[in-house]
Amino acid sequence: MGRIIAIANQKGGVGKTTTAINLSASLAALGKKVLVIDTDPQGNTTSGFGVDKNNLENTIYELILGECSVQDCMIKNVVEGVSILPSNVNLAAAEIELIGVDRKDFILKNEIDYIRDSFDFILIDCPPSLNTLTINAMTAANTVLVPIQCEYYALEGLSQLIHTINLIKERLNPDLDIDGVVFTMYDSRTNLSTQVVENVKSHLNQHVYETMIPRNIRLAEAPSYGQPINLYDPKSAGAESYMALAKEVIDRKL
């Protein structure tokens, strides 16, 4: 049965999408069968795999509204071993469309249950807010992976995210756990990055992944070429870090 990981943090710009794209591609490179679900209306994970998000007949939006099946929506092998349920700006309307819908927080879970056994890992890229889409992702997931940028305000909002996760665990998904925290945009040359890491470790009673994702220009360039970093520049520090993180994720026993 596939392990479902929601990648979430309500702060924007912390590396959620970068992690969704590159962790999934690295897991696939290690022989795992992976599905990525893009639940962010910006659709950056979709375009990061080279998919033209603006010319899609079926996306996660149509899936959530019951207008297509998972198989209709899925784009297989966007890179070898990785399939995707894509997203685009239409998804922004989902919040309104789902008002009054019965058991709306379980829509994504019910759809994923049909295909869960076909994948080793299912990664869900969440939007940078705690809305219906994020709740759907967390209701469907086994665990939540939290990317944290190495910056001064790293801890801001994190307690709110943990509170939300605990609420969802209490009311919607009793099996939900925090997978762990992964540090992104780490710069070993600055004292600030080191201080942030120590600060988070001392304040958070959570698993922290040993692998830290560095600030890396090649990582920033890769999405504009529609490729994950392990294809765009496999020898870059970013590619090596995501490969190391993928190995940690595989070995993590919850």
pLDDT of amino acid 55? 92
**Dihedral sign from CA coordinates of 162, 180, 219, 196:** positive
Q: Which of 129, 57, 122 is nearest to 92 (CA)?
A: 129
Q: Which of 164, 206, 106, 147 is nearest to 5 (CA)?
A: 147
pLDDT of amino acid 253? 73
Tracing tokens 């990525």 back to the chain, one arrives at 36
Q: What is the mean pLDDT of residues 96-121?
A: 93
Cβ count within 10 A of residue 80: 9
pLDDT at 152 over 80: no
pLDDT of amino acid 254? 63
| 206-231 exposure pattern, b = at least 16 Cβ within 10 A, e = fewer | ebbbebbbbbbeebeebbeebbbbbb
Distance CA 157, CA 9 (A): 8
Banded model confidence at residue 68, pLDDT cuts 50, 70, 90: very high
What are the backbone dihedrals phi and psi of residue 7, each rounded to the nearest 5 degrees, phi first? -100, 110
Banded model confidence at residue 53, pLDDT cuts 50, 70, 90: very high
Which pLDDT tens digit goes with each residue over 116-151?
A: 999 999 999 999 888 899 999 999 999 999 998 887
**Residue ranges making up the domain that contains 202:** 3-251
Count helices and strands in the chain by DSSP H and E runs: 12, 7
Do 34 and 80 contact (CB within 8 A), yes or no?
Answer: no
Q: Which of 15, 2, 3 is nearest to 125 (CA)?
A: 15
Which CATH number do you get for residue 145? 3.40.50.300
pLDDT of amino acid 2? 87
Do 123 and 34 contact (CB within 8 A), yes or no?
Answer: yes
Q: Which of 203, 215, 25 is nearest to 123 (CA)?
A: 25
Q: What is the mean pLDDT of residues 102-128?
A: 95
Domain count, the chain: 1
Which pLDDT tens digit goes with each residue over 197-238?
A: 887 788 777 888 999 999 889 999 999 999 999 999 999 999
